[in-house]
Structure 1
Amino acid sequence: MSTHLIWDNLVAYSMQIGLLIGLAAFVPALLRLKVPHTKLAYWQILLATCLLLPAVRPWKQAMLTVSRPVFSNIADLPPMQPMPPTSLSTSEIALAILGAGIVLRLCWFAVAFLRLGRLRHHSQPLTPPTAWSVEADIRVSEAISSPVTFGFLRPVVLLPANFSELDVQIQDAILCHEVLHVRRRDWLFTLGEELVRSLFWFHPAIWWLLGEIGLAREQEVDRLVVELTKSREGYVDALLAIAGAAPRLDLAPAPLFLRKRHLKQRVVSIMKEVRMSKTRSFSALAAGLGFLAAACWLVTATFPLAAAPQSVNDFPGVTVDTGGPVMHRTAVIYPDAARLHNIQGVVVVEASLDSSGNVTDTRVLSGPPELRRAAQQAVLQWHFSMEGSSNTRQVKINFELPSGQRAPATVVTVNPPAMGAVNDPEKIAAAEAKIRALRSQITDQTAALRSSQDEAARQQAAAKLSELQENVSNLQRNLGPASLAGKRLARINVMGLSDQVRDQLLSRLPVHTGDTLSADSYDLTSKAVREFDEHMFVSQSANSQTGEVAFTIVQGGGSIASVSMTAPTTPATPGVKRITIGGNVQQTKLVSQARPVYPPLAKQARISGVVHLQAVIAKDGNVMDLKVISGHPLLIPAALEAVKTWVYQTTLLNGEPVEVVTQIDVNFTLSEEGGN
């Protein structure tokens, strides 16, 4: 979250607090909450409500659309110039001032604590002849002018030096007041309130509310003192006697016997006895709470808080006008067939929303037929903010081909198998044993293919290699999620989330990196991800050599741009040239081509599409690096697993072997009958 957004939220939050306290300040008078303990409860609930305002309703989230990157040759870019030094923004300066104020206030808080400790250390114990002294350490200090109480485990009551000179009735009233503070644990409440004051030192409404809480607390203790001592006039005399002394500890983080600004209200409250039945007090307080609930909803709607914008990576050439605030949306994909045939245009979609803002239905108003389905599929997964009375939104999606079309790619079409997934443990173990044996043979055949100089022998090895890879594919395609049992989870990739949200998601998962998976680990993880965000799902991939598993968590309906699921891009080998060749040309040089396995989960979910890969072919014809350009997350692992085993003929340039950069498109299609 940027400093500008933090500052805007802090201003909005401060306005929420000010408006809420301003509205709630009139409630005690309207409901005649005159009994001190009822008024104290109301003010304390109001303070707690102010602190909890950010949790009342979801924060508004803007959408930040980020175009997919277009890669250029680094050598063609001009050298970067050093950035000029930047000055602090207004929001950064304001936040620094607020932070400095909080630090200073907390420092004052610490100094006040140290001062109370010194006062206790230098004071003298006192054992007055009264029953009120048994619950606290009563001490006398010459440094104070008014009684003060502090401490939790070992409470202390400090009395001024002239305490013994006061009338016995006044002494009794003062000690009764302080001991009641000890019994009520008021010092803990005072500490909490002073911490709130430190955090909101800049907010006058918070200061006013804390003052009302302190006054109501003292009025409640006054009422209890009068009730216990049966001496109303004597207690007023005690207040007036203390009021005549010069204040010397008015800012201590502890309940003082008297703050002079509260003297008039306290005397009036003592002399004017007010009674309310428990039923009336409860009903009045309940009405006040109902008012607070309505006021909370009003102030949070008037000054909403904003979350960090959601980043959405639409396909290159796609621009979106959502037609209104969006809480969540998936990326829009440019259909491959439309791009290949240079089809462009604007698709206008009318989306129907339910009461929570989810899209329940869509209707295309206009746009090229080849682009309509992609637009509808994307919009159906969006979640709008329900601002305004309309339950429909008009979305405009512009599909425009970027300049400089890519060279034709190697295209591989993958159809789903007719068999269902195998989840029986014994069958899984047998299939995996066969796969391991076949992979061992694949390793031998690959070595033979690379080392042989005889073209006939190479063709024979390539044919055998293709047969072995096809057998592995046939076995792999029928293994369901239960086949993960006993395997190690090497990593969990989370795409498209901020670091904070990613950490929250990972903490809720039933499995973590390094765990040994069980037969139901995938299902439990998918359930946990869905509970966290219904727009997200999990895909899994396994390393063909080590058997280790990776889970990838992504937002549904979108695709991943520039996600490397193998090693990072490999630089050209020193001394070896690297050229770019179109996929159609490079496809004719394929010696061994393993067929990708159609992922069972993608098949069940009726997911099809094209995975675009950028491949670097080594000078010996092996795939040395793969990079994902785009594709559906459930299809990407299968495409990578197959393509990385392909073997090409060596490409020569002026008689020398060179590395080749090419594009490979793996097309996963479902049959009209359902792909079975």
Structure 2
Amino acid sequence: MYLAQWSNRMVMYLLASASLRVLVLAAWAALLAWVLRRRGPETRHAVWVAVLAGMLLMPVLTVVVPRHLVAPPSWLQAPSSAQSKPPLRGQTRTVMTVTASGAITVDESAAPVWRPVRRGWSSWLIPAYWLIAAFAALRVGQAVRRATRLVSQAEEIRDEGLSEMLRVICLEQGSGYPLPVVRQSDSTLVPFTAGWQSPAILLPSGWREWDSFKLRAVLAHEMAHIRRSDWLIALLAAINRTLFWFHPLAWWLERRLASLAEEACDTAAIGPQGDARRYASVVLEFAVTMATVRPRLSWEATAMARSSKIGGRIERIMEGRMSWSKSMTKPGWALLLLLSLPVLYSASALQPFQPPRQPTSTFGPLPPFSTEVAGADMTAAEAATLEDRIVRNTKDIDARLLITGYYYRTALAEPYRQQLRWMVENAPESYAHDTYAFSVGNNGSLMIDEAERAKLADLWRKQAALHPADPAVLVHAGRFFGDRDPEAAVQFYLRAREVAPADLSCVEDLVRLHAIAVANVDRPTPAASDLIQRHARILAAVEKVDDPEVLGRIAIRLPSPRIHSPESLPASVREWMAESARKRTVLAKTLLERAHALAPADERWVKALARLDAGDALYEQPGAPELPVSSRAAVYPPLAKLGRVQGRVMLEVSVRSDGSVSEASLMSGHPLLAQAALEAVKSWRFAARPAEQRIVTMVEFRLPADLVSPAPASAAPVQASGTTAGGTPSRISVGGNVQQAMLTESPAPVYPPLARQARISGTVRFKVVIGKDGSVANMTLASGHPLLIQAAQEAVQAYRYKPTLLNGNPVEVETEVNVNFQLSN
């Protein structure tokens, strides 16, 4: 069901995109037809046939042809100021006050202004499109069947004089053999042609009463239709109108092609005989016949008297205003194709986008993400106040964010799960999904078992299908699947990039998953074939995109194998390292060249290529945040204080030459702190500089000592769990600080580059089981930031302990291990 919903939305997106792009083709055709107005109807008809072909192909070309991003003129670009859009999605205006005594008061008049994702219009628009398109397609099918049946039931004419006249006409018009079949029927009043591969000319049963001029004019006109394949073109125009029934161009194009086809056939029929007035009387005679009896023929048969403007056609013939021209030749069609291809490519490939501001480093910052758990340290009374507040207003996102953090830290599994499900179902675009308590896809919460995770996965797939054009929903869905299902995550991220190229929130996620895939595919020791195939599919999906931002950042961040002690490694491993570095360098250059070709105005890729050619490192660490010379302290948000939220908010600001701030944008930090930081930094002043410059700064939020929760006890009592046959416990539980004294080997973790760049620090906690030999036998993640988990896990797996003896016998030990990641100043 979700796939069908996504398919319907994607069809609508392609049709809407194609509808706008074909206007470029139409404008080009109108200009070309005006330039070639003296070349005759054959040439002008060919120009509009090219537009018809482009319109039919445009939905496919939009997907197949590589995109070429172009920045619109500056006067068309959206303002980049922070004031031009709200800094956070789902922001509320709730007023809460925390008094000195700890009491909480809520201003009931300040109702939240949370707005869910708009939905509903597609529930009727998509079915309406398919219903109307199906009805139009049914009419087209009935028309073809009616014309085919009429021809098949007609009697074939076997007349030597008529056949000879037809052969002469074929020679005059340059038509090839075999000759078309000519039939007669009592069911038709006017001559017409139907069919493509086996065309037939159908004449009224009274054709033998016509004089030779009239018969020759009719046969010449219909033969011109056959030579030009007008029946096939009319069928394609009808199919185009069926697909684009909502587009005025489709209806106008069908009528225009029919009008030019009749004008071209009139030219071909009058040319050899030269009597335009007499030919006009023949056309008028058939037109009167069709007017007296309601015609049943439209496009399905190219009738001689078919025209919605027969008066203008007769007047043009009578006054001799026909454009005498020869038929389109193969060189003429080839020239038209050469003129059409650049326009068709431009219309299908060019993609306007809002260019991102130049980053302060080679790579961009991660989207806002919080390692703090808002609401985790609230008291039961404060939590009860929030629960009552949610009952009064179920759409209070800030309150749900705090109460979810409280449920998370107090291990209230079922209420915690209910909040997660509600947020996915009702606010998939909310900023809350970027906070730690909600990011259960990768943080290994013990309260989310596989059954609950499967439910959440189904909900995210449903929301992504319902909102295929909302990048926030797609990014949040991708982050839910994360490392557990990286293939699904990559697909969601790529769809988010498709619908919102200017939104860079998921680029670093794609870069990280690509780096993991490279490490799994390019490894010195063999791995499971299914693992390699899965990561190879990820590489193929990411590297084939026509997204310069993704390609360029992947190239810049493309990892290379670390060589700590190459002289101590086996020769085979050193050879692998050298070959791996060479292959990754080649791949980085290829990706950078593609990024430059897609975005030639972006100097980052040119500079990166130059560094790569010079052998310099592509990856550059960001500079330290710049502090102001004068600043106003940020107002601590009451909700953040209530939730015990503290930490840094990283901002990118534009500083004028006098040191004042012109604009600021969020790089990272907790959503509950972001708005206060943005408001405060607007009044800051930095050191003067020669010209306006973009820098990185930070706002620090620290809670007063009386609001910070006391630290937990350093050690827990020893508890036994399970016994052997002799009564000796087989496993005991020991506090983390006690067991730490038993460590013999504890290699320091490698700080992940992505976490360092995003200034992410914190502690990753594991529940581990130490075997009787002192090695780590099993480990379970308790908490930690997703970007730090893998490095911490690799470090803990290498830990070695002294064997723990109980009554002289070695036993297994359950304990807690904390891995700290701390950034230096």
In the superposition, the TM-score normalised over structure 1's length comes to: 0.49
In the superposition, the TM-score normalised over structure 2's length comes to: 0.41
Looking at secondary structure, tell me which structure has more strand per residue.
1
Looking at secondary structure, tell me which structure has more helix per residue.
2
